[in-house]
Structure 1
Amino acid sequence: MKYIADYIHSRGLKFGMYTNVAEVTCMRYPGSKDHFYIDSKLFAEWGVDYIKVDGCFVGEEFLNTAYIKFGQHLNATGRPIVYSCSWPYYIEFIHKKTPNYDVVSHNCNMWRNFHDVVTSWPAIRTIITHYKESYDQLSPYHAPGQWNDPDMLILGTGSLTDNQSRVHIAVYVMLAAPLLLSCDMKKITDYEKQLLLNLDLIAIAQDSLGVMGKPYELQNSVTLWVKPHLPRKGDKYHSVSFALVNLQSESSSVSFTPGSYSLNSTDGYTVMDIFQRKFIRNVTLRDSISVEVPAEDVIIYTLFPL
């Protein structure tokens, strides 16, 4: 496994592994129960960068102690390893209780809150809807080093059209969600590659403030996701990105006034289309923006303070 890790690292990629806090994994392979110390030590020796820890086949009480102990053993290795927990998913959807996100966020780097993604557009649409409806519950615990995780991107699987791929990555970017790929890299399309290498898009996702974008309902079933981020003018005028998301099967005409969403630079803002990668125009706090959002598509504008 160390040889495989070195091979992966030599190509600029990160090495992710999977285990479960039970005796077996969800697919009945060996799990880590009673072996947290030795497994953590072994993962570190192999050069693992990311460990996904599942939680099937154990009870609520065990989950609430096992994830804390596993994280402590990972920290004791001294190796930086992203600790991805499925803890709150099992508490909420299997044991039908309310997760204690205060405890989860202090012990995990990221955590799954919802069902596994599958390679289909309906699955992506359902995940987006869940995070929109759960914003108030989840956003207080989302910050650098502690991330809500809507599961992996399904790029490279041939499951989405180009516009659906835009929606998929756009909402994850606005959520400041971890952007994870688990696919045959040779099957990533040229357009998907363009999305993944759009540094203006990735800059919003990986902004160091780590703010989880907030959803607002506009007219015609379009959701406006709003995310403040760097760069900043002075010490109080943030840049802000606006994602207009249309999950419907028909296009929608919408308008919104950016100044209504916590913008505060009286000198105005310059507007950039992130997918088109071009300047649109300058706006004041009172100006509105009108746009046609195609079916199952998204438009992202970033406003930089002047």
Structure 2
Amino acid sequence: MSIKRRVFLFLFLFGKVSLLDNGLARKPPMGWMSWGYFMCGVDCETHPRKCLKQKLILSVADTFYNEGYQEAGFEYIIIDDCWSEKQRDRNGRLVPDKKRFPKGMKYIADYIHSRGLKFGMYTNVAEITCMHYPGSKGHFSTDAKMFADWGVDYIKVDGCFVGEAFLNKAYIKFGQHLNASGRPMVYSCSWPYYIEFIHHKTPDYKTISRHCNMWRNYHDVVTSWQAIKTIITHYKSAYDQLSGHHGPGQWNDMDMLIFGTGSLTDSQSRVHLAVYSMLAAPLLLSCDTSRITKYEKELLLNLELLAIAQDPLGIMGRPFELETSITLWVKSHLPRKGDKYHSVSFALINLEEHASSVTFTPGLYGLNSTDGYTVMDVFTREFIRNVTLNESILVTVPEEDVILYTLFPL
């Protein structure tokens, strides 16, 4: 290739094409990610049930394929930090841990793809990852091409150990190299989290949403109900800041679901999944899939609930404080009647340790069909009643629980 031709390609790839251009994540990604439960599970002899290794990843693929999760939309299987050797090879490429991933990442990707599923991996924009494995700084082009060669469909990029100015350049530059790799990969950024909580500045969501498919903007989830309550409370307070930059191809990421970890009661599990669904957040499990309870699986495979979570309009549900301890989350979505009257879901969330009763009038929250609406309980899948725009509904929400109704226009 001539020098003139190479210069033209460089200017085209890294000059004009400055935005993320992969056409992916038109709905919030659903799947499984290793970090929340397995974390940096490298001591496989002492902790064999929390070992991040090849057998674990393939078992998740088998579970999704055999137990109905794939049909419900769970498709991405993502390996987080601690997957590599501590040194790059002589050609500057990252090397999968030879004991835990003996057949390499291309083998795992091919296995996952053979099941009709998708494969995700992790890196960091610094020289090392958050757990001190080799990062991608100085190797953006090499790593983007390597991930493409391996058949990666989703890349989570962390932001530990670098300054604010570098973060604001690095995420854009790495996205350009992903575009240039020729393989579309969902681009998950931790960019705004580090800007806000490490560097104590206000994230530029207008720019972030133009360069990333999804982004972490709050602390890591841990396996506790208190952590879930804190996340929900944060996103309620941050709604005005976040909602305008959220939609198909660009999502606020509330972090992983903690089903299958023994951390939640059934009612707390309903709250966890209901709020994530109302916010159109990515739904990424992190657990030993064999420990998912029968009821948790029923929730995860509830297609009425997933229809709210995966609605093509991608609207981020809006919170309203009612006069009791109840927060009402409201979300418009499909199906529509006559391309004019949306269906609307109402999630009444009670995070307190006592039950609360409340009366609310759905017609005050954006309903517009003068013919009225039919009300369905999303968890029981039962018809409740029909209502007009002026009618009110009285509900009692048990402690740490949710009432979730979808109203369809008549």
- Structure 2 length-normalised TM: 0.74
Partner of 1:299: 403
Letter aligned with residue 26 of structure 1: C
For 1:192-271, what aligned pairs fall within 5 Å after superposition?
192-271=296-375
Deviation (angstroms), 1:255:
1.1
**Alpha-carbon offset, residue 13 of structure 1:** 3.6
Counterparts of 1:90 and 1:30 in 2: how far apart (Å)? 19
The amino acid across from 1:258 in the alignment is P
Hey, what does 1:51 align to over in structure 2? 155
Looking at structure 1, the residues matched to 388 and 226 of structure 2 have their Cα atoms a distance apart, in angstroms, of 38
| 1:271-290 equivalent positions in 2, closer than 5 A | 271-290=375-394
Partners in 1 of 2:202 and 2:110 — Cα distance? 41
SS of equivalent to 1:224: strand
Q: Paired residue for 2:122?
A: 18
Which has more radius of gyration? 2
State the distance in 2 between where 1:84 and 1:258 align.
35
1:80-133 CA-to-partner distances (Å, cap 9, x unmatched) read 211110000000000000000000000000001100000000000000000000
Q: 1:130 aligns with which of 234, 251, 255?
A: 234
**Counterpart for residue 67 of structure 1:** 171
Q: Which moved more, 1:76-85 or 1:228-237?
A: 76-85
* Superposition deviation, residue 14 in structure 1: 2.8
* Structure 1 match to 2:145: 41
The residue that corresponds to 1:81 in the other structure is 185
Q: Using the alignment, how far apart are the partners of 2:260 and 2:339 within structure 1? A: 40
1:91-102 alignment runs, 5 A limit: 91-102=195-206
Matched residue type, 1:256: F
2:314 partner letter: G
Give the secondary-structure state (helix, strand or coil) at the position aligned to 2:110: helix
1:18-40 alpha-carbon deviations (Å, 9 max, x no partner): 11000000110110001111111
AA in 2 matched with 1:255 = T
Gaps of 5+ in 1: none
Alignment partners' CA distance in 2, 1:228 and 1:74: 34
- Identify if the C-alpha distance between structure 1 residues 149 and 100 changes in structure 2 by more than 3 Å, giving closer, same or farther: same
| Structure 1 partner of 2:110 | 6
1:146 and 2:253 matched: no
Question: Secondary structure of the equivalent of 2:155?
Answer: strand
**CA 1:82 to 1:2, structure 2 compared with 1: closer, same or farther past 3 Å?**
same
1:12 is displaced (CA, Å) by 4.4
Distance 1:237 1:76 in 2: 42
Structure 1 residues 246 and 12, CA, compared in 2 at 3 Å: closer, same or farther?
farther
Task: Name the CA distance, whole Å, in 1 between partners of 2:399 and 2:271.
Answer: 10
- What secondary structure, in the 3-state scheme, does the structure 1 residue paired with 2:327 have? strand
Q: Deviations over 1:55-85 (max 9, x none)?
A: 0100000000000011111122232211110
The answer to whether structure 1 residue 190 and structure 2 residue 294 are counterparts is yes
Give SS of 2:371's match: coil
Distance 1:60 1:126 in 2: 26
Q: CA deviation at 1:183?
A: 1.9
C-alpha spacing 1:258/1:137, structure 2 compared with 1 (3 Å): same
Q: Which residue of structure 2 lines up, in the alignment, with residue 172 of structure 1?
A: 276
Question: Relative contact order (alpha carbons < 8 A, sep ≥ 6): 1 or 2 greater?
Answer: 2
Distance 1:221 1:40 in 2: 48
Structure 1 residues 165-207: Cα deviation after superposition (integer angstroms, max 9, x where no partner): 1100100000000111122211111111111110010010010
- Please give the alpha-carbon distance, in whole angstroms, between the structure 2 residues aligned to 1:75 and 1:277: 43
Counterpart selection for 1:103 from 196, 207, 211:
207
Please, what is the CA RMSD of the aligned residues? 0.9
Amino acid at match of 1:111: W
Q: How many residues in Structure 1 have an aligned counterpart in Structure 2?
A: 306
Give the 3-state SS of the residue equivalent to 2:394 in structure 1: strand
Distance between the aligned counterparts of 1:46 and 1:97, measured in 2? 36
Q: Distance in 2 between matches of 1:40 and 1:189?
A: 38
- Kindly provide the amino acid, as one letter, of the partner of residue 159 in structure 1: S
